[in-house]
Amino acid sequence: MDEFMQAAISEAKQGRNEGGIPIGSVLVKDGKILGRGHNKRVQDGDPVTHAEIDCLRNAGRIGNYQGTTLYSTLMPCYLCAGAVVQFGIRKVIAGESRTFPGAKEFMVSHGVEVVDLNLDECEQMMSEFINEKPELWNEDIGF
């Protein structure tokens, strides 16, 4: 596993330690992290502060997303996949999609290369959270 997915996992753990949902994300270009974030829906009381959105906000205005890669511990949902497509991010690396399939086909249909690493660590982190707090998880994914 590379340093960027490790950074995303660290973000997810930070979110969990804050009482939130353990999903983390980093935006990378030319081997450097431009932004990092984690799901803060619970912490901020904001339904759209998903990890990828927090990451993009923290990266700030970078002007052009060409050559960037978005790492996320979980396959992005349609909200976050929409941001990927909107900003022209061409590559997404997801930690896993077993606990939530996300919007992979949507991104691929818009020319995004999507890599699913199927990492046990990411899957275990989400499975434990879903088992402990199913009502919070269902709220997060809109059920």
Catalytic residues: 52
CB 25 within 8 A of CB 72: yes
CB 71 within 8 A of CB 7: yes
The DSSP output letter for 102 is T
Nearest to 5 by CA among 22, 24, 21, 30: 24
Alpha helices in the chain (DSSP H): 3-17, 41-44, 51-59, 78-87, 104-109, 120-132, 134-140
User: Which tokens belong to 76?
Assistant: 């992005």
Nearest to 41 by CA among 143, 140, 129, 124: 140
